[in-house]
Amino acid sequence: MAFDIEMIKSVYSKVVERVDAAREITGKPLTLAEKILYSHLWDGNPTKAFERGKDYVDFAPDRIALQDATAQMALLQFMQAGKSKVAVPTTTHCDHLIQAKNGATMDLQSALNTSNEVFNFLESVSNKYGLGFWKPGAGIIHQVVLENYAFPGGMMIGTDSHTVNAGGLGMVAIGVGGADAVDVMAGMAWELKFPKLIGVKLTGKLSGWTAPKDVILKVAGIVSAKGGTGAIVEYFGEGATAMSCTGKGTICNMGAEIGATTSTFGYDKSMERYLRATDRSDVADEANKVKDYLTGDAEVYANPENYFDQVIEIDLSELSPLLNGPFTPDLSTKAGADMTEKATKNDWPLKVEWGLIGSCTNSSYEDLSRAASIAQQAIDKGLKIKSELGINPGSEKVRYTAERDGILSVFEKLDAKIFTNACGPCIGQWARYSDPANAPKNSIIHSFNRNFAKRADGNPNTHAFVASPEMVAAVAIAGRLDFNPMTDKLINENGEEVMLDEPTGWELPPKGFEVKDDGYLAPEENGSHVKIAVKEDSERLQLLTPFTPLGNDLYGVKLLIKAFGKCTTDHISMAGPWLRFRGHLDNISNNCLIGAVNAFNMKTNFVKSQIDGEYDAVPKTARAYKAAGIKTIVVGDHNYGEGSSREHAAMEPRHLGVAAVLVKSFARIHETNLKKQGMLGLTFANESDYDLIQEDDTFNFVDLNAFAPGKPLTLEVVHADGSKDIIVTNHTYNQGQIDWYNEGSALNLIKKENAA
């Protein structure tokens, strides 16, 4: 039986009336995304049609998911909100703080030894405030959510950008910062700009070496890392319905890498099969009663160009296996000759040192079974694997079932390391090197979603390529980045030429899923007696002090850093070894912007202080400005804040005295996070004004006292020689968000309203 079945029944009881009302108001058939959005309005039944990409709308999500790295800060904030219990079903998942090194058993014990203070904190807060708790080793948040909580037609938010994985089961699931989650946990509306819509029509059918992963790798190559910003991507067509539920999840998961608000698929038979296989026949039965309301209208899919802002069509029958990378998830290359040419031209190492299978993107039973079919061929055909191989199962349910069915033993026969059911190398939790900063140039291939520099192992010289699990297995066996299993032969231990056959696998385990201990702890009905202890001298946890309002008198603001090129949340607040400080704002602020490239010297973590003219680390320089009572500004390029939903990338600059971030364009989640923390997130009205910014500049916000929706803000930029430039900046603040700024943060406003 499903968790929260009464909540799900309640959603379905309202969907018909609300969707019918939305059709009447908009005067047209509806996409699935629109059906879910209009049926989850905070005010109930829709009364107006919203303009895509313009109107801010209040929504009522059905549930929330938190992962342990971001849950710390989210729950520290919720503790200040003045509530005794979360208002909607919420879960905490311990999957980020487990480092991959020796294998599952030793690595899990090591995590318990080093992070038990954090795990105990999260468990006690969850118990006190009514959150379900998934213990370390239970699985990766998004796989666990897909198996237990996701349901067609639902809306959820989560404090991880890959929350969008639940779109594989027909949800609108959106990654947010912890402050957004706190709003909903506190019983308030969740605000989102009504998204634009991108339709992806999938014709034909996947076969041979192609996999669902290749679909999103292809889409990423088409639309780029920011092309989906502000939009929901909806997949449909015969190719979509023929795909497994977990395959759909893979596509939705990596939709975060094109900046999409979320991605989703309409309810179909594959979703029903998955629900029943994961002991949720009750959900499937309820969904079947309203199934026409859990997918896009037939007219929409017949004539998509009339209903979507952009339409992409992909013939799956013509799709080839792709490898995306390095250093960006949207650089697509076909397997084989195309990779040989591109790698040679760009000096990418062709030798592959590691193949990694798993992560929240590709760690299902189907993924492991298809990759294992390739591994079994290596054994049967006398091939010796040329690369090292690592496996991260998605959940204890998947791991236990895969072990029972002999899948994991196949990998072990190739000397693969079976890591914990956790994120591991995908988020930089991989003890590959003792000194990663000085590690050698090399290539790896993985089935993860991101491949930014230093992402997996901390080595800036690691060229990481993203592919399907079966391609990862094949390339790892061959040991060459440009290996094409469809055409290339390998030499086995007997000196014979052999070829790998096409992968095979199971959509669902033939003998069903099985697990002895799934790692779930239910909260007490009344947790008011639960005590939450945070030691004053803790290095890992720190109770929050509310931010004070920045005010309207921002003059004499100094430039902290002008970031050059790509500046993701990894550059602003690195993960990996810094994950241990995610619950301690002051300590983790020592990684603030240390990965951003200074446009004036092209170095990282080396900026000039206008106090003494000396160059030093970004956090140290920021702390000196703060101690002197001087506010600072960060200037950046396009798609600033791309990547993870981590709000630390906003909270750290705020904590260190940054008042504003001025860029050419923002990634959606990061812009919202800045607003939530009471900062100014601004964009150049004229992008070329970025070039006017000089190293010793001082900024005066001359009309901030007239801060209003739709009204640009003017900056007077004073250069070292006394000359000035006037720069016009745009913003997307509505009145409610301006109120956040005026109060010092969104959380401050929540506390004020709760106290009233």
Cα–Cα distance for residue pair 343/465, rounded to 1 Å = 11
Point out the catalytic residue in the list 4, 62, 68, 95.
95
Neighbours of 706 (CB within 10 A): 10
| Residue 191: C-alpha distances to residues 40, 615, 672, 736, 752 (Å) | 12, 41, 10, 10, 19
User: Rounded distance, CA 179 to CA 658, Å?
Assistant: 18
364 CB burial (10 A radius; 0-12, 13-18, 19+): buried
Measure the CA–CA gap between 285 and 46, rounded to whole angstroms: 27
Which amino acid is residue 701, in one-letter code? F
Dump the DSSP string for 667-736.
-HHHHHHHHHTT-EEEEESSGGGGGG--TT-EEEETTGGG--TT--EEEEEE-TTS-EEEEEEE----HH
What are the respective helix, strand and coil percentages of the chain, to the nearest 5? 40, 20, 45
Under a CB-based contact definition with an 8 Å cutoff, are residues 426 and 392 in contact?
A: yes
Active site residue 691: no
- Annotated catalytic residue within 162, 450, 582, 655: 450
Told to judge if 23 belongs to the known catalytic residues of this protein, a careful annotator would answer: no
77 neighbors 86 (Cβ within 8 angstroms): no
Nearby residues of 551 by Cβ (< 8 Å), 6 or more positions away: none
Residue 529: active-site member: no
- Structure-token pair, residue 398: 């998947």
Q: Tell me the C-alpha distance between 405 and 510, whole Å.
A: 9
* 446, 580, 646, 668: the active-site residue: 646
Strand bridging mode 310-315 / 724-730: unpaired
Residue with tokens 């010289």: 461
Report strand pairing: 632-635 vs 615-616.
unpaired
Retrieve residue 222's tokens.
Answer: 């088409």
* Cβ-based neighbours of 485, under 8 Å, separated by 6 or more: 209, 321, 335, 374, 471, 474, 478, 499, 500
96 counts as catalytic: yes
Catalytic pick from 160, 367, 405, 697? 160
Q: Does 689 participate in catalysis according to the annotation?
A: no
- Record the tokens describing residue 235, joined without a space: 């997949």
Active site residue 463: no
By annotation, the residues acting in catalysis are 95-96, 160, 450, 644, 646
